Chains A and B, each alone.
Chain A
Amino acid sequence: MRYFKIFSYSLIISFYTSSLFAVDLGGLKLNQNINNYLIISEEEKNKDIRIRKFDKNIRIFANNIFNLGYKNRGTYKDFKILSPDYFWDTYYIYEKDNKSNYIVAVKSLNRKVVQSKFKIGECTSLRQQFIKEVMGLNFSEKKKEYKNWISGDMIRYKDRVVYTTTENDISYNHLFSCVHSIYYSKDEHYISTYFAYGINTDHQIVTDMDNYLNVKDLNEFNESLVANFKIWGNYEISDQNYLDTDLYSLKKYRNEALQMHQKND
């Protein structure tokens, strides 16, 4: 009985304390002085390459070398990640007025795979599990958004779920996005997919990004569109639900990334 009481108290305490410190990403918190995180020189910090085109007052910083399982195109270690989740490949911090304005973690699920090898349901299944992990029992508003835009010679689709929670009178947006890029070359379609999780307190930054990219809202979307997409049109979209949390288990993906990290550490 005594142990049961201790267990119950610890459960209650852990529940409340976890909700108090819940809104961070890898230990990175919003609206903090960016200099508390950055480990680069002032010169590096002020490089033009960091300035975002959608808002010249916003700069971006990245870390993509904490996870050695990820094959980087370029390496960035602009800040330390206090408690990294090795599931992610890259963490980004968007800075405005010297404060962390928007924090994003990205996992690349595939890069230019032929359409026939596209794993339908992979991203949405991982996202569903991740949402459960992050949101837990938190009651929040939920909004689904489907977007489409052109980037160079790629056609991109974004399937975003936005949860809004309030903690200590501050409203936090949690954005869980599956982004698919479709590229066509020599009678073959290629797909790249990444899963992103972002947090912010001011959604304006996301709206500005979308406006800059000339993003169009779609009424409906599911991954069958990506699997069946044909650049010449006239393709089918199925209504089927493709979630498969056993085949695409978040735990499995995380373990694989962690093992790869430990091997190379």
Chain B
Amino acid sequence: MANSSENIKNYSITLLCVIASAFIIFLGFYLKTTAANKLIAQKEVLMKVEEKVDRVYNDYKSLIDRQISMQESIEENANNAGVLFNEGSLIFSVRLMESEDMIDPAQADMMVIESISQIKKVNPRIADIVSTFNRKYINSR
């Protein structure tokens, strides 16, 4: 009888050990899986954050680029308008000075040619028009 209870005790201990081992294995496996999942989830989160940051950065960069190109274009237009205005006034002043005998016709012509060359760099069509007027003026003097 005593022997039988000893056996039951041993079996119980063995079973407990087996259950405990299985539990530990299961726990280990569970913890590992959870950690891996967490890691994947973290990576996904990080990737999404990176993507968002990239998108925001690219949007911001393109906005800045657009602003710079717009500024450059405005600046160029302003410069071109300035050139047209300056050279136009110069041509007018030179012809006026010529008519008042303050400068020689050849000297005036040369200055006007230089102004038309400057206008041509900015706007060839306006240079054509100015040149046509200039020709008319030269032939009529």
Decide whether A and B are members of one complex: yes
Q: Interface on A for B, CB 8 Å cutoff?
A: 148, 150, 152-155, 184, 187, 230-234
What is the CB-to-nearest-CB distance from A236 to chain B, in angstroms, rounded to a whole number? 10
- Could you jot down 19 A-B contacts, CB within 8 Å? A150-B106, A152-B106, A153-B104, A153-B106, A154-B106, A155-B109, A187-B139, A230-B135, A232-B135, A233-B112, A233-B113, A233-B115, A233-B117, A233-B127, A233-B130, A233-B131, A234-B120, A234-B127, A234-B128
Going nearest first, the 6 A-B pairs with the smallest beta carbon separation are: A233-B116, A234-B131, A232-B135, A232-B134, A233-B113, A150-B106
CB distance from A167 to the nearest CB of B (A): 40
Docked pose: A148 CA to B112 CA in angstroms: 14
Q: Which of A154, A155, A234 has the largest count of B CB atoms less than 10 A from its CB?
A: A234
Interface core residue of A184, A231, A232 (most chain B CB under 10 Å) = A232
Check B116–A150 contact: CB distance below 8 A.
no
Asked if B110 is at the interface of the complex by the 8 Å CB criterion, the answer is: yes
- Taking A150-B107, A155-B106, A234-B120 as given, write out 11 further A-B residue pairs in contact, using a Cβ cutoff of 8 Å, ordered by the A residue number: A150-B104, A150-B106, A153-B106, A231-B135, A232-B131, A232-B138, A233-B115, A233-B130, A234-B116, A234-B128, A234-B130
Report B119-141 CB contacts with A as 1/0, cut-off 8 Å: 01000000110111011001100
Q: Is the interface of B mostly helix, strand, loop or mixed?
A: helix
Q: Is the interface of A mostly helix, strand, loop or mixed?
A: loop
In chain B, positions 88-117 with a C-beta closer than 8 Å to chain A are 104-107, 109-110, 112-113, 115-117
Of listed A150, A153, A230, residue having the most chain B CB within 10 A: A150
Bound Cα distance from A154 to B105, whole angstroms: 10
Residues of B within 8 A of A152 (CB): 104, 106
In whole angstroms, how far apart are the Cα atoms of A187 and B141 in the complex?
A: 12
Give complex CA distance A127, B100 in Å.
Answer: 42
| Distance between A22 CB and nearest chain B CB, rounded to angstroms | 39
Number of interface residues of B (CB under 8 A): 21
Contacts A184-B138, A187-B139; is A231 near B107 (CB within 8 Å)?
no
Q: State in angstroms the CA–CA spacing of A234 and B117 once bound together.
A: 6
Task: Assess whether A231 is in contact with B127, with CB atoms less than 8 Å apart.
Answer: no
Minimum C-beta distance from A154 to chain B (A): 7
* Chain A residues with CB under 8 A of B106: 150, 152-155
A148 vs B110: C-alpha distance when bound (angstroms): 10
A237 closest partner in B (C-beta): B117
CA distance A184 to B135 in the complex (A): 12
Q: Which residues of B contact A232 (CB under 8 A)?
A: 113, 116, 131-132, 134-135, 138
Q: How far is the CA of A148 from the CA of B106 in the complex (A)?
A: 12
- B116 adjacent to A231 (CB under 8 Å): no
Which residues of the partner chain B approach A230 to less than 8 Å between Cβ atoms?
131, 135
Contacts of B139 in A (CB 8 A): 187
Q: Give the Cβ gap from A134 to chain B, nearest Cβ, in Å.
A: 33
List, in ascending order, chain B residues with CB within 8 A of A148's CB: 110
CA A259 to CA B132, docked complex, whole Å:
48
**Closest A residue to B114 using CB positions:** A233
Minimal beta-carbon separation of B77 from chain A (angstroms)? 22
Residues of chain B contacted by A187 (CB below 8 angstroms): 139
Measured between C-beta atoms, what is the minimum distance from B97 to chain A in Å? 14
Question: For the complex, what is the distance from the CA of A153 to the CA of B103, rounded to whole Å?
Answer: 12
| Closest CB in chain B relative to A186 CB, distance in Å | 9
Which residue from B110, B115, B128 sits with its C-beta under 8 Å from A150? B110
Give min CB distance, A228 to chain B, whole Å.
12
